[in-house]
Amino acid sequence: MLLNYTSDDMIALLKGAMGWNVAPTSLGERAMREILDAVRSGAAHPVVGATPSFAELPQAITDMADRATVGRVIVTVR
């Protein structure tokens, strides 16, 4: 999901800039509504792939950098 939404005026300004990936705010609002509706209805749910402890955080970061994870990695801090 793209998390970089902006106004139409700004999109026109940034269109020629290299490396920018933006979409209109209206698209982001619609996408978020659809995602929340799917989660609330039970049609979609987040995938939690790992729940490492804070002590395991360095390895969890390495695993994410190595693309060795699936779903969300949620660190437990106690």
- The CB density around residue 60, as the number of other CB atoms within 10 Å, is 19
Q: Where are the domains of the chain?
A: 1-44, 46-78
* Mean pLDDT (whole number) for 7-25: 76
Q: What is the pLDDT of residues 18-60, one digit of tens each?
A: 677 778 888 888 989 999 999 999 999 889 999 999 999 999 9
48 Rama sector, left if φ>0, alpha if ψ -120 to 50, beta otherwise: beta
As a whole number of angstroms, the distance between CA 26 and CA 11 comes to 12
Q: Give residue 6's pLDDT.
A: 81
Confidence band of 12 (pLDDT split at 50, 70, 90): confident
